Amino acid sequence: MHTIGTLARRTGTKVQTIRYYEQIGLMPEPGRTEGGQRRYGDVDLDRLAFIRHSRQLGFPLEAIRELLDLSDHPARDCGAADSIARRQLREVETRIARLQALRSELERMIGECRGGTASECRVLEVLRDHSECLADDHDAIG
Amino acid sequence: MHTIGTLARRTGTKVQTIRYYEQIGLMPEPGRTEGGQRRYGDVDLDRLAFIRHSRQLGFPLEAIRELLDLSDHPARDCGAADSIARRQLREVETRIARLQALRSELERMIGECRGGTASECRVLEVLRDHSECLADDHDAIG
DNA sequence: CTTGAACCTATAGTTGCTGTAGCTCTTATC
DNA sequence: GATAAGAGCTACAGCAACTATAGGTTCAAG
Ligand SMILES: [Zn+2]
Ligand SMILES: [Zn+2]
Ligand SMILES: [Zn+2]
Ligand SMILES: [Zn+2]
């Protein structure tokens, strides 16, 4: 039997985060002591490790919910798990592409600034006027 | 004189977002009609375009606040603007590196799954056990 | 003068936590 | 058995940066 603090330490999770996962139904309601403190078993430890590792790989909690559900039903077809992972891969690829475009714009504007006053600053000029950019689109803010 | 809707259309911003920027002090409180509706000038349009373009380049609102302030004081030295941009570049580079690491883990686990039941799924196996990963760290969740 | 689009405020929800206040419980030591 | 530290408890507020909704008012065209 583990306390919430032990689970936290063993998985690198904040205690509040574990309670949050319980609140949104990702972690089960564990047993309690007479005094009302949570006590977990090894199954819970594994489940939390699964959640945390999935988060480290960037999966959103809703995807993790589905992945846990599949993991809980070993006889089901794994197609759903694979398609969630592929969706996540596409998401990561999209973000990389967007960030690479941002990187070149940033490099360019930094490289072009020769210092001086704000009125002469190339960085500020570019920010004022998107037509100074090479890319003709960098939507999808974030 | 422009309505808030015109500003929104011309800059690709939601109307609520403009009001939000006003609330947090990024956009000035504009003049109002007798009936209480906001009316903007061209200066406001330019300011909003600056904000939106900066957001598209990934700058956080607090950085944009400083950039706007510099842009409003043309005689100041531009060093601060450049260092904000360089910080943003470093941030983007960090994120790219992290996402590239995630991409290879995802590619690998997807590539290794041969289908079948959830109990045999390579994707789920890797999620259960980080030691199946090549990287020995992928912290910094998000 | 009517209609309907666009505006207004205020508030709640999004994602995934994190931090705080003000308690209570557990456990080790004496 | 008493005490005190550390860990746990609930409940709520806050972060970033919006987005959505409800329920009402104003503007401008016809
Ligand atoms: Zn400069
Ligand atoms: Zn641009
Ligand atoms: Zn599979
Ligand atoms: Zn891993």
> In chain B, where are the structural domains located?
1-61, 77-135
Per-residue pLDDT at B58: 95
A103 shares contact with chain B (CB less than 8 Å): yes
Q: What is the pLDDT of residues A27-73, one digit of tens each?
A: 999 999 999 999 999 999 999 999 999 999 999 999 999 999 999 99
Report the pLDDT value the prediction gives residue B138, as an integer from 0 to 100: 79
Q: Which nucleotides of C are covered by protein (CB under 7 A)?
A: 6-10, 15-20, 24-26
Q: Is the confidence at residue A139, as pLDDT, over 70? A: no
Residue of chain A with shortest Cα separation from B132: A53
Percent of chain A with pLDDT over 90: 94
Q: Do A107 and B89 touch (CB under 8 A)?
A: yes
Confidence of residue A142 (pLDDT cuts 50, 70, 90): low
> What is the CA B3 to C1' D30 distance in angstroms?
22
Q: How far is the CA of B16 from the centre of ligand 2 (A)?
A: 23
pLDDT at residue A8, rounded to an integer: 98
B133-139 contacts: CB < 8 A, separation 24 or more? Answer: B133/B105, B134/B104, B134/B105, B134/B108, B135/B101, B135/B104, B135/B105, B138/A56, B138/A57, B138/B98, B138/B101, B138/B102, B138/B105, B139/A12, B139/A56
The CATH number assigned to the domain with range A1-61 reads 1.10.1660.10
Neighbours of B102 (CB within 10 A): 22
Residue in the block written with tokens 């941009």: B85
| The pLDDT of residue B140 | 58
Average confidence (pLDDT) per 10 residues, chain B, 142 residues: 97 97 97 98 98 96 97 97 97 95 96 95 96 80 66
Q: Per the structure block, which two tokens stand in for B96? A: 């790219």
Q: With CB atoms and an 8 Å threshold, state whether A102 touches B93.
A: no
pLDDT of A138 higher than 90: no
- pLDDT band at residue A140 under the 50/70/90 scheme: low
pTM of the model: 0.92
pLDDT band for position A137 (cuts 50, 70, 90):
confident
